[in-house]
Structure 1
Amino acid sequence: MPSPEPTSLLIKARWIIPVEPAQRVFENCALAISDGVIQAVVPQREAEKRFQADTTINLGHHVLLPGLVNAHSHAAMSLLRGYADDLPLKTWLEQHIWPAESRWLSEDFVRDGTGLAMAEMVKTGTTCFADMYYFGEQVAQAAQQARMRCHVAFSVLDFATPGGSGPDDYIRKGLALRDEYRNNDLIQVGFGPHAPYTLSDEPLRKIAMLANETDTAIHIHLHETAQEVADSIAKYGMRPLERLHKLGLLTPSTQCVHMTQINDSDTQLLRDSGAHVVHCPTANLKLASGFCPVHALQSAGINVALGTGGAASNNALDMFSELRLAALLAKGVSGDATALDAHAALRMATLDGARALGLDNTIGSLEVGKSADLIAVDLSHTGAQPVHQPASQLVYTASGQHVSHAWVAGRALMLSGQLQTLNERELTGKARWWQEQMK
């Protein structure tokens, strides 16, 4: 009889949803992790014979699945949660959020707000997030310390903010940050042009050129409202997506956030360019921005990921809430009850999100050789019974509060509901301090 193989961690679970292969649920299986990488996914009886584990975790009422990928957030804006609610986007931004940022935005604000957001995200199942904000070095440092995986999209705008004096300054700082984290296993840095309506042609052309030269992703708010599209047609004689295409910004590394206003020509441009769409259903509804036609986009072969946006416009960072809403909206908007089924919704929040961020060879599914970025969700609660279909329970009855464990590259970020790399009490204390300052 051969000697058992050594492994760092063996996790036995009632169910495992690997995402790839698609539409599969493994029952009473175990996942072996060695050096931060998935070593095997096998039946529990085989695992007991095959492996000698340093640590074994038994999760008899849980589903193991890939860690969720929040493909669009403004993490530090967690400190502006509830600051200005029930307003349309233009009013919300120009009369409330931008004035608040001009007064309070700083390195300390971003560091503390990002920490608070990461605590919420880990506790609700997110292990990787794309962030678009200012002071990207603070975001990167915070994510590195928390051992979260993060795509930092450094904001670029035509006008000055506390984060920069103008387009050239934003770009200079962002490229320096990219160089600093070029070989980092957890942090990647990309361009974050805020939106077509906050950037003129010259800096957009510069971003397109630099992104192409450095093979760097572009993350941009796009077609968020009907007014944005109408204003672009009036000013430039074309829709925002067509303008970006002509300026060279639509590529397979472009992440188009929101996309609630889409016609056939937009769909064709997205399909031909290979660009990705990031759907933010709660933020779109709360700001009355419109509906992203997820089913139509996916049917056209366009990759659609899922994001929360910032807590100032959501007001939560719970990807399970986004999952449920995305699945229901896809059915309602398309008039097709089969649109975005439970497995497809889970894929959108995991592997499709990883694909949008260029990380699908590393994370997004529980496959041998991939990084061990995964979560466990407890389905023992009354509202999940009986468990006929674990995938359906995750999408239609679960919430972030049912996440019990989280790992990134095999390292525990949360065990039995307790954060391992973040100090929750300290972070909530800082949030209360900022609240007092902003009164």
Structure 2
Amino acid sequence: MTTPVLRVDLVIEARWIVPVEPAEMVLENHAVVVNDGRIIDLLPQNDAATLYSARCHKRLDQHVLLPGLVNLHTHAAMSLLRGLADDLPLMDWLQQHVWPAEARHVSEQFVHDGTLLACAEMLRGGITCFNDMYFFPRAAADAALASGIRAAIGLITVDFPSNYATDADDYLAKGLAVRDQLLDEPLLSFCLAPHAPYTVSERNFARVLTLAEQIELPIHLHLHETVQELNDSVKRFGVRPIERLHRMGLLSPALIAVHTVHLDAHEIELLAQHGCSVAHCPSSNLKLASGIAPITELSAKGVNIGLGSDSAASNNRLDLFQEMRLAALLAKEQSGRADAINAHRVLHMATLGGARALGLDANIGSISVGKSADLCAVSMNDIALAPCYDPVSHLTYAVGREHVSEVWVAGRIRVEDGQLVEIDETGLIKLALLWQNKIRP
């Protein structure tokens, strides 16, 4: 008896498929079957040809297909400040240059346009989801939706006024209103985003914690980024920031701790015991001379780790292939062990680790039946990538974002043959130049 052929939206055949789940698996000559934006099958190509008829059939004979990358920490709109004030320590960079520029220029239009620019850059580099923290979150959300990328929109909170809000109560009220307006958008999720322990009071942290528990949102904040941050906390509060957060009850599986560069053994243990996640941002940490996060020790304790680019103002690229390579190499140097963090582990950080931190791992982060078809294809047909003995090794140590050929978000193609679909690159470059002329000192 002949098995009936099922009509589906998309079948992608690839030379290699790296599903991320199960761990360290590489499938050869397999196919991913997509219908209504979701993965419905993962099977050998010959079986796919027998069982499915596709409206769109993509053959990627010299490619690796992997889950879309998850950028666990960025300030997308700050792409308009790329290169504005380089080669400075963090606090000088913030206080003397970035914050004054933001005070002069940040508006709904700035955030919308800067986020559009960032979304285009991220999609071109295989990033299908980003976790944002910035002012005017509605403008960022609208830009993400227009770009067709998945986004976790941070509802920022700080104690000082800005062009967006007057005080912490105003920040939270406006942020929650945005969440209520956009709650039904399938490509959007939300995080509470208190900026850092040095910019948020205990009263306002308490409000954030209550809200996080009531509406079940992650809490996304900068933590233990610099030695100065730690010293200032000890002088002001008598304890280091992680201990302060611990006493306030903020350490939990909901916490996404960004940077965590300077940790002692007790602090690593606290993060592990409370199920916290870490957003590791190696390029930004190096550029601002903040240090190197101890991800080998964090990983050994079972802490969930994702990768972040930070902003284009402090990186200056929104490029997770660069972050994967740096994360692996720095872990080897810091630990003195070449096998400290292997290529598969780093790829997990860039995909499922980020998804898990955001509470999205049931939907994205791996190529698994039932999950959204957020996918990235990398072409290995390049002299710089030949020969290829191990595709996952290449993804970590050899591939660049220029090798990304196709990107799908929820089954919809966003990059095809290396070119953005439905995004006007020339128009975005002109828009960036207009902002450059406004911002230029």
Counterpart of 2:148 in structure 1 is: 147
Aligned to 2:124: 123
TM-score, normalized by length of structure 2? 0.98
Kindly provide the CA deviation profile for residues 64-87 of structure 1, in whole angstroms up to 9, marking residues without a partner as x: 000000000000000000000000
Give the AA of the match of 1:221. H
Q: Which range moves more in the overlay, 419-428 or 228-237?
A: 419-428
- Return the offset for 1:221: 0.3
* C-alpha displacement of 1:417: 1.3
Offset of 1:273 from its aligned partner? 1.3
Asked if 1:103 corresponds to 2:104, the answer is yes
Matched position secondary structure for 1:426: helix
1:422 equivalenced with 2:423 (yes/no): yes
In the TM superposition, residue 183 of structure 1 has moved relative to its aligned partner by 3.0
Superposed CA deviations along residues 336-358 of structure 1, whole A, max 9, x for unmatched, are 11011111110100001100110
How far apart, in 2, do the equivalents of 1:149 and 1:34 lie?
Answer: 18
* Residue pair 1:304, 1:348 contacting (<8 A) in 2 also: yes
User: Gaps (5+ residues) in structure 2?
Assistant: none
**1:33 matched to which residue of 2?**
34
- AA aligned opposite 2:145: Q
Matches within 5 A, 1:29-428: 29-428=30-429
Which amino acid in 2 is paired with 1:122? L
For residue 54 of structure 2, give the secondary structure of its aligned residue in structure 1.
Answer: strand
Task: State the Cα RMSD in Å.
Answer: 0.8
Shift of 1:158: 0.8
In structure 1, C-alpha distance between the alignment counterparts of 2:391 and 2:157, rounded to whole Å: 42
The structural deviation recorded for 1:151 is 0.4
- Indicate the larger mover: 292-301 or 239-248: 239-248
Question: 373-382 or 266-275: which moved more?
Answer: 266-275
Task: Name the aligned partner's letter for residue 162 of structure 1.
Answer: N
More divergent stretch after superposition (241-250 vs 219-228): 241-250
State the alpha-carbon separation in 1 of the partners of residues 156 and 369 from structure 2: 36
Residue-by-residue CA offset, 1:108-138 (whole Å, 9 max, x unaligned): 1100100000000000010000000000001
Q: 1:7 corresponds to which residue?
A: 8
User: Secondary structure of the residue that 2:360 maps to in structure 1?
Assistant: coil
Q: Which amino acid aligns with 1:246?
A: R
Tell me by how many angstroms 1:182 deviates: 2.3
User: What CA deviation, in whole Å up to 9, does each residue of 1:144-175 have, x standing for no partner?
Assistant: 12221100112211111112111111010011
- 1:436 maps to a residue whose letter is N
Q: Contact 1:178–1:190 at 8 Å: present in 2 too? A: no
Q: Distance in 2 between matches of 1:3 and 1:360?
A: 33
Aligned to 1:91, the other structure's residue is in SS state helix
Distance across 2 between alignment mates of 1:371 and 1:438: 39
Q: State how far apart, in whole Å, the 1-side matches of 2:52 and 2:108 are.
A: 46
Aligned pairs, how many?
Answer: 439
Tell me the distance in 1 between the aligned counterparts of 2:126 and 2:34: 19
Moved over 6 A (4+): none
Percent identical pairs in the alignment equals: 49
What's the secondary structure of 1:260's corresponding residue?
Answer: coil
Counterpart CA distance in 1 for 2:211 and 2:334 is 38
Is contact 1:374–1:408 with CA below 8 Å preserved after alignment?
yes
Q: Which amino acid aligns with 1:161?
A: S
Inter-partner Cα distance in structure 1 for 2:388 and 2:190: 41
Looking at structure 1, the residues matched to 396 and 40 of structure 2 have their Cα atoms a distance apart, in angstroms, of: 27
Q: Deviations over 1:286-321 (max 9, x none)?
A: 000011101100100110110000000000001101
Asked if structure 2 preserves the Cα contact closer than 8 Å seen for 1:145 and 1:421, the reply is: no
Q: Can you list the C-alpha shifts for 1:190-242, whole angstroms capped at 9, x where unaligned? A: 21111101111111111111111111111000000011011111111111011
Instruction: Describe the SS at the equivalent of 1:235.
Output: helix
- Whether the aligned pair in 2 keeps the contact of 1:181 and 1:189 (CA below 8 Å) is no
How far is 1:181 from its partner? 2.2
Contact 1:308–1:319 (CA under 8 A) maintained in structure 2? yes
